[in-house]
Homo-oligomer: A and B are copies of this chain.
Amino acid sequence: MKIAIIQFAPLIDNAEATLNKLEQLLNKCNDSELIILPELANSGYNFQTKTEAFDLSENISGRFISFLQQFATKLKAGIISGFNEREGDKLYNSAVFVDKSGVIGKYRKLHLFLNEPDFFEKGNLGLPVFEYNGYKIGMLICFDWMIPEIWRKMALNGVDLICHPSNLVLPYAQSVIPAYAIVNHIFIATANRVGTERGVSFSGQSIVANPQGKVIGRLSPEKEEILKIDINLSISKNKEITERNHLFNDRRLDVYNDLK
């Protein structure tokens, strides 16, 4: 599957300019089957007030999702993007998966970082996995990287590729993601943002890791740029890591199933 990560900086004070920028970047991805954007790509991250976060949010039938669907149709691709989602009077730090047919699915961030609970509700859609072009795709968002259980749970649910829209400030996640890829024998694509927003700088270095835990693509720490790579997702289906070892079946659930 030909995937593309768009590493860019949304403009928190100018949604129109953000869309214009994204339009140019998306138009460079007409050879990709799946395009992945960072967390909160429609709004930026560092809200000053709940009111501002609300003003910069959109619901699932809003302009940003229509914009993504329009490009999904034009590019004949799936697009996964983080977005500031409004539902009624609640906000969620969400990721959406669209193609030409519309919204394939959504994920809402389960683990909120630092001050995010001032703006967002905790995710309430579980850990869905979606079929796409014969493979199983899941989404996790940014700080979710800290919790090994969710990466494992998604792998147990059969995911081949986890797309990971992010607004990472530090570069720690980029060193842990390859470990999750190897111990779960899956592909992971972390789409991080760049730039400085109201004094907060983001760490870029978007990566793709393969089931051998190898980083097979990495972007720079600061530039807006696109990572394109062709990955063989069928590799992830084989959990027999030696002729006598199976990644899941070898587990001693009698000893550690309860992780409370």
Contacts and interface: CB of A to CB of B under 8 A. Distances in A.
Interface of A: 110-111, 113-115, 117, 122-123, 126-127, 143, 146-153, 156, 172, 175-176, 178-180, 182-184, 212-213, 241-245, 247, 250-253, 255-260
B175 A244 contact: no
Contact of A260 (B117, B242, B257): B257
A110 B256 CA distance: 11
A113 B256 CA distance: 19
A8 B244 CA distance: 28
A38 to B, nearest CB: 20
A253 B259 CA distance: 8
6 contacts: A123-B252, A126-B255, A149-B152, A152-B259, A178-B179, A257-B259
Nearest to A251: B147
A147 B183 contact: yes
Nearest to A253: B260
Contacts of A143: 245
A128 to B, nearest CB: 11
Given A114-B244, A172-B182, A182-B172, A256 B153 contact: yes
Contacts of A153: 255-256, 259
A115 B172 CA distance: 36
Contacts of A114: 242-245
Contacts of A151: 148
A241 B146 contact: yes
Nearest to A147: B251
Contacts of A182: 172, 175-176
A234 B13 CA distance: 44
B183 A113 contact: no
